Amino acid sequence: MAKMQIEWSKLIPLKKENIQELPTSGGVYRLSKKSEDGKYYVFFVGSAEDLKNKLLTHLSEKEPNVRLKQLLSQPGDFVFRYAIVAERSAQQAIEKQMYRHYIPEYNPEEPKSSLDIEANLN
């Protein structure tokens, strides 16, 4: 299994104005919500060839995941973190690793990837 060191952003409030500041680079990301216990819990993980566009889609009417769209339309303290990863196959492998680690309830299924990469998740 290949190991990969990636640099994660800090927690960023999931708001359109914050997403507008992102690069159009490819990478991986995770969405979290603050719980009543004050901790953030990951509810969705993803990868994209264009992080900015993908995250903006999550906040729009065009979001195809109905459950995710409903959750994000409710009030809450939503945040995200992202990491730039240039190669698409590596993005998909890290997304699969995050899925297996966090078991996010709003991802409809485990992401597909034949590549095995172990990346740092923090």
**DSSP class per residue in 52-120:** HHHHHHHTSTT-S-HHHHHHHTS---EEEEEEE---HHHHHHHHHHHHHHH--TT-SSPPP-S--EEE-
CATH number, residue 34? 3.40.1440.10
pLDDT tier at 1 (50, 70, 90 boundaries)?
confident
Average pLDDT over residues 68-79: 95
Q: Give the count of beta carbons closer than 10 Å to the beta carbon of residue 88.
A: 12
Domain that holds residue 46: 2-119
Mean pLDDT (the chain, rounded): 95
User: What pTM value is reported for the model?
Assistant: 0.95
Residue 19 is which amino acid? I
Residue-wise pLDDT tens digits, 79-109: 999 999 999 999 999 999 999 999 999 999 9
> 86: which strand partners?
none
Q: How many domains does the chain have?
A: 1
